[in-house]
Amino acid sequence: MKDCLTAREIAAEALPDMPRTESAVIRMATREGWDERATQARQRAGRGGATEYHVSLFPVLAQVAYQQKHLVIERPVTPVTAAPDASLTARAQKERDARLAIVAAFEKFSRGLQLGYATRVQVFTDRYNVGSLNIDEWVREIVPTLSKRSLARWQSQKRDGKVNALGHDPAQARKGTGILETANDGAVRAFMLALIAHQPHLSGEAVQTQCRYEFGDTLKVVSKGVETVIPMPPVRTFQHALKGLKANHKVELLKLTNPDQYRSHMAPAGVGMLRHITEPNQLWQIDASPVDALCTDGRHSIYACIDIATRRTVWQLSRTPRASAVALLIRKAILEWGVPDVVKTDNGSDFVARDTQRLFASLGIEPETSDAYSPQQKGHVERVIKTFQHDLGPLLPGFVGHSVADRKAIESRKSFSQRLGETEAEVFGVTLTGQQLQKHVDDWASTIYQHRPHAGLKGSTPFGAALASSKVVRKVDERALDLLLMPVAGKDGYRKVTKLGIPIDNNYYLAPTIMPATAVFVRMDPNDAGRAYAFAQDGGEFLAEVVCPELSGLHPADLVRAAKEISAELMSERTRDIKAGMKRLAKGPTLIERALEVKRRDVPNVIPLPKREEAHSTAQIEAAIAAMSERLNPTRELTPREAAEHRRMIEEMRVEDERELNARFEILRQDRLDEIEAERTAHLPKDQNIVALPETPKERYRRAVELRKLVDAGKLPATTAATLDAVWLGGYEPSAEFKAHQAMHEDFGDVYLS
C-alpha cells in the first residue's frame, strides 16, 4: 500500500470528503497548506516533478476508506522476536502467525490516522468482521471474527515478547483428556501401551478384553473434580485410543518392538563425526558380510577394509569367518597402502581373536573396538559393503539377492516344474569359483570404485584423494610381514626352553643358542612343520631358528650332537668372564675380611667414655671363678685360713684397681671439661670476671633442643667440645627430665622455650 500519492492519484481514488479532479485536489492542498508540511509533502522523483502528499493529510473518512481499500492482511515476513517454541504444533504455529499478521495490519492501519486508540480499534474490528479488509484466505480461516479485547490482548503479548503464547491448538489442548487416557489415574493408558509393545497386532476388541480382565467391567474417571465410576467403553473407543497411542508414541513403540528398524531410521546418529580424519592411513574400518552370490565351492564371506580419509577399499574372500582371513586382509592392505595408525572393528570373534590382536600389537597398530550391537559406529565400512553388494552383486553369476524376498523372486523366474530336480547351483546359474570371484572383486575395486566420484570426498575420487596426500607412508618389508602372520605355537605361542629343547605339540625343537629356563614366544613355519622361530617373550627380539629333528627329516643323533657342541661353546663363552672373576676372588682377601673392612669404615670415630661399674657376685659366680682360677693356675690345696687371706688380698686388689680407675677417669673428665670451658670462653674479654651459675633443668632442656637441631642438620662442628656435647645429649634425651620438658614443649609450642 502506497503512503504518498500525487493529486492525480488522489482524485482517481474517489475517496469520501475528497475532490474527484486533479485541479480540485491541488486547490484543496493549497487551501489546507499541505505544501508547507515538509514531513508530509515531498517532490516526486523522476520526470514531471509532481508533489506527493502523505495519506495522513487526508480527512479521517478518506484515510479510513483508503486503508480499507488497500490494506492487506497477510503472513508476516519479519521473523518473530522471541525464540521459537519447538513444542508448538503445526496448527499452533499457524494460529500464532495469523494473529501476528492481524496485529501488524492494525499497526499499519493506525499509522497516520488522527483518531484515538479506541476509535481505531473499533473501526479496524468492524471492517475486519464485515469483510471489507483485504485478508488472505488462510488468515480468515483461522480467525473468522475479531473482537477488540482479543486484538488488545494479542498486542500486549507481542509487546511483552510472548509471541509463542499466541499459538493455540484446540486439538492439543484436548490431548490426553480422553476417558481411556485418564481412567484409573492413567493406569489404563499405561496398560494399553504395554499391550501394544508386547503384541503390536492386537485389535481393539482384544485390548478391551485384556482391560476387562485387568480392571474389571468398570473404570474410574474424574469429571470436574469428582470421581465417577463408568462402564467399560465400547470397542470403537478402544480403536480410537489405540490409533492415538500408536501415533503419539510411535518412536518409543518402535524402539521396543523393532530395535533394528529404530536404530536404522530413528536412533540419533552423528553426522561428520570423522571429519578430523584427513590423512591416509589415519583410520581404517574393517568388517565382513556374506557375499550375495554363490560360488561352485559354496558361499563365501567378504572382508572389507576402507581407509576413511580417501575411501579406498581392499577386499578379501574367505570360505568361513576366521582370524586368518583378517590377517590376510591386513597384509593385503598394508602392502598396498602402508601401515595404519588405528583400525576399528566390531566385537566379532575373528576381529577380537588373540592372533588378530597380537598382529596389531606387532605392527604398532592401535585397535579400536566398537560397542556391541552398534554398527553405526563403523558406518563407513557398513556403507561400502552395501555399495559392493548392490553394485557388483547383481552382475555376478550365482547372484541370490539381498534378502529372502529377492531370493524368492529370483527362484520364481523359473516355474516349479523347471526347478524340480535342479540343484541350487543350477537354479541360480553358479559358475564362479572362489578364486575367480576374488579376481572380479579386486578388479571392481581398482577399476570402478576407486575412480568413482565420492560425495564424502566433495566430488573427488578415492584414487585422487590418495594421490593428493603428501603424508609419508609407513612401509613394512614383505618377508617380515609374512613372518608376523605366521601361526603361533599352541594357543598363545608362549613356551619355556628346557634341556631337551622347546616343547611344541609333543615334539621338542632344539634351541642350542637359547639358555634353558628362558621364556620365549614361538611362531611356526606354515611351509615346514619341523621349523619354528623363537622370539623374546614380548616378541621384540629374534632369538633363534629352532628345528625338530623328527619333523625336519634330519638325523636326530647328528642334530643333537651339533646342538650340544653349540651349547657347550656358548656356555664356555658366557662363563669365561665369570671364571676369571672367581679366580681373582680366590687370590685376594676372604669374604669375611672384605666385609669387616667395609663395616669398619662405617663405624663412627667416637671415643666412648668409661661408665661406672660395680662388682656383681653370687655364690655360683664365686664358685665358677674359683673353678676357672684353679683350672688355669693349678695349686696345692689351701687351708681355710690361707683361703680366707687369699680372698681378702684379691678383694683389696680389686678395690684398689677400681679406685685407681675412677681417679683416672675423673682426671680425664676434668681435663675435657676444662677444654670445653676454654673453647666456650675463648671469645670473651680476658679481664671480664665470669661466674658460672648452676644450669636449671629448663636451661638444660633448651640446650638439648639446640644441640638436637645442629645434629639433625649435620652442622655440629668437629671439635672435642662438640663431641662431648653430643655424648651428653645422647645420655640426656632418655632421661625423665627431658621427657617431661618435651611434653610441656609439645603442649605450649616454642613459647615454652622463651
Per-domain residue ranges of the chain: 4-70, 73-172, 176-265, 284-396+432-468, 486-603, 604-629+653-666, 695-753
CATH fold of the domain at 284-396+432-468:
Nucleotidyltransferase; domain 5 (3.30.420)
Give the residue with greater pLDDT, 395 vs 133.
395
Query: What's the CA dihedral at 436, 437, 441, 447 to 10 degrees?
Result: 40
Residue 51 in contact with residue 22, Cβ under 8 Å? no
For residue 592, what are the CA distances in angstroms to 34, 520, 581, 599, 602?
130, 40, 18, 10, 15
Give the mean pLDDT of the chain: 79
Residue 344 CA to residue 115 CA, distance in Å, equals: 75
Q: Indicate the range of 447-451, 593-597, 681-685 predicted with least confidence.
A: 681-685
Half-sphere exposure (Cβ direction) of 456: Cα atoms closer than 13 Å? 20
Higher pLDDT, 611 or 463: 463
**How many C-beta atoms surround the C-beta of residue 656 within 10 A?**
10
Question: Backbone phi, then psi, for 739, in 5-degree steps?
Answer: -65, -35
Mean pLDDT within 667-674: 66
More confident residue, 139 or 421: 139
Extended strands (E) in 482-578: 494-496, 502-504, 507-509, 519-524, 531-536, 542-547
pLDDT higher than threshold 60 for residue 568: yes
> Where does the pLDDT of residue 623 fall: very low under 50, low under 70, confident under 90, or very high at 90 and above?
confident
Note if the pTM is more than 0.75.
no
Q: What is the pLDDT of residue 286?
A: 93
> What is the distance between the alpha carbons of residues 539 and 354, in angstroms, rounded to a whole number?
14
Residue 407 confidence (pLDDT) above 50: yes
- Cα–Cα separations (whole angstroms), residue 487 to 108, 269, 287, 355, 358: 86, 40, 22, 8, 11
For residues 613 and 611, give the distance between their C-alpha atoms in angstroms, rounded to a whole number. 6
Q: Is the dihedral of CA 491, 493, 495, 501 positive or negative?
A: positive
Model confidence pLDDT, tens digit, residues 737-750: 888 888 888 877 77
Taking residues 638-666, report their average pLDDT. Answer: 73
Query: How confident is the model at residue 478, as a pLDDT?
Result: 81
Give the pLDDT score at 632. Answer: 46
Per DSSP, 537 falls in state T
Between 1.10.10.10, 1.10.40.30, 1.25.10.10, 3.30.200.20, what CATH number should domain 4-70 receive? 1.10.10.10
Q: Is the pLDDT at 734 greater than 70, yes or no?
A: yes
pLDDT for position 94: 84
Give 752's pLDDT tier (boundaries 50, 70, 90).
Answer: confident
Most confident range, picked from 113-117, 224-228, 433-437, 682-686: 433-437
136-145, 162-171, 429-438, 722-731: which has the minimum mean pLDDT? Answer: 162-171
Q: How far apart are CA 560 and CA 500, in angstroms?
A: 9
The residues with which 495 forms a beta bridge, in sequence order, are: 520
Residue 449 pLDDT grade (very low, low, confident, very high; cuts 50, 70, 90): very high
- Above 80 in pLDDT, residue 56? no
418 has a pLDDT exceeding 60? no
For the segment 24-33, what is each residue's pLDDT rounded down to a tens digit?
888 888 887 7
pLDDT over threshold 80, residue 543: yes
- Give the Cα separation of 536 and 519 in Å (integer): 7
Pairing, β 298-307 against β 313-318: antiparallel
Bridge partners for 304 per DSSP? 287, 315
pLDDT, tens digit, for every residue of 63-110? 777 776 666 555 554 434 444 555 577 778 888 888 888 888 888 777
Span 569-593, mean pLDDT? 78
Q: Mean pLDDT over residues 445-462, rounded?
A: 91
Cell of 74: 497477510
Q: Spell out the long-range contacts of 729-738 with Cβ–Cβ below 8 A and sequence spacing 24 or more.
A: 729/704, 732/700, 732/704, 733/704, 733/708, 737/697, 737/700, 737/701, 738/701, 738/704
Amino acid symbol at 164: N
* pLDDT for 323: 77
| Residue 163 near residue 157, CB atoms below 8 Å | yes
The whole-number average pLDDT for the span 714-733 is 76
Asked, colleague to colleague, whether 4-70 and 284-396+432-468 share their fold, the answer is: no
| Per-residue confidence band for 169, with pLDDT thresholds at 50, 70 and 90 | low
**Cβ atoms 441, 317 nearer than 8 A:** yes
pLDDT band at 267 (very low <50, low <70, confident <90, very high): low
Q: Where are the alpha helices (DSSP H) in 452-555?
A: 462-468, 478-484, 549-552
Specify the pLDDT at position 170.
Answer: 61
- The number of C-alpha atoms within 13 Å of 158 and in the hemisphere containing its C-beta is 20
64, 72 Cβ separation under 8 angstroms: no
Cell of 139: 488468515
Sequence-distant (6+) residues with CB within 8 A of 690 are 681, 684
